[in-house]
Structure formats: C-alpha cells, structure tokens
Amino acid sequence: MFYNITMNKCINFEDTIYILNVRIRMIRDLLHLDTDVNLFYSQTLADLQFIANALDTLTTKYLENLKFLDREVEADNILDAEWQYSQLMNEITNNSSLFSQAQFPQMAAFIVKLQKESTKRKNQVEGSYVPAENTKLESVVSNAELNGLLGSAIIF
C-alpha cells in the first residue's frame, strides 16, 4: 500500500490491480460473446483508455517511491497487469475479433498507441528493480568477523 502524503490519499496497489484485471477479463468476455459490438464499441474504447491511465498512475507512483516494503511484489503485480492488458489488446487486433478493422478502422491505430504506452511502462518498471530471484542476500557480518566472534566466544 502506498500513501501519497501530498494528497492524503491511499493507493492500494493490490486492490487496484485486482479491479483492473477484472475489467480486462470483462472486455475479454465481451470479445467471446455474441453481442452487438456497436452497442459496446465506445465504452470499450473508454475502458481501454481508463485501464491505460490507471496503469500509468500506478507505474508513476511505483517509480516515485523507492521505499516500498514489497517493491518487487508490487513490480511483479504491475507487470502481470500489463501482460494481461497486452494479451487483451492482441485479442482485439486479432482478425477474428468482434472489432474488425473493416468495421472499426480507427481501432487499430488506437490499439497501437496503447501498446506503445504499455511497452514504455513495462520497460520503466523492469528497469527500476531487480527481480526477487536475482537478488543475493548480503551478509551483515563477514565470514572473518563471524569466525573471530565465534573463536573468541569458545572457552576451554
């Protein structure tokens, strides 16, 4: 959880990302159902933009605060949401999508813009931390100090 002191608002990354993933799944479901695409087209564009804006805000807040307790976990959560979002955009641009390029020619350019923004955010997050599996724990006490301490503590 991140507290923004200047706005006195709390951004709960985990809950926010959960809701974004739910919205992504909702749009994915729309793509697989037999619906009137014209009815949902403008709302889908707005939802895609909303998700991009929310991910942009989360990425900015993440990059601004280097003192997260679970920085790697938050980065992984953001990157997972970005991956889900990318998969959704790939499905939309798929030739079999309800939002065909023939019927909605402006959708392709819109998706390309969103994909570029998503790639930029992913690169920023990936560049700001070392994944947990790549980190090495640093010894607080060196081996020489440890041997010295243990050696002096032994009494014969």
Q: What is the pLDDT of residues 59-102, one digit of tens each?
A: 999 998 877 677 888 899 999 999 999 999 998 887 667 777 77
129 vs 28, residue with greater confidence: 28
Question: Among 44, 57, 50, which residue's Cα sits nearest to residue 9?
Answer: 57
Give the number of domains in the chain.
1
CA–CA distance, 76 with 147 (Å, rounded to integer): 38
CA–CA distance, 130 with 34 (Å, rounded to integer): 44
Radius of gyration, alpha carbons of the chain: 23
Please check whether residue 75 is in contact with residue 55, taking contact to mean a CB–CB distance below 8 angstroms: no
Helix (H, G, I), strand (E, B) or coil at 11: strand
Q: Which residues, other chains included, contact 27 with Cβ-Cβ below 8 Å and sequence gap of 6+? A: 44, 47, 48, 88
- Crossing angle (nearest 10°) for helices 13-32 and 37-64: 160
CA–CA distance, 3 with 11 (Å, rounded to integer): 6
List the CATH number of the domain containing 103: 1.20.1050
Read off the pLDDT band of 45 (50, 70, 90): very high
Read off the pLDDT band of 38 (50, 70, 90): confident
CA–CA distance, 19 with 37 (Å, rounded to integer): 23
Residue 5 has pLDDT above 50, yes or no: no
CA–CA distance, 68 with 64 (Å, rounded to integer): 10
Residue-number span of the structural domain to which 54 is assigned: 2-153
CA–CA distance, 86 with 132 (Å, rounded to integer): 23
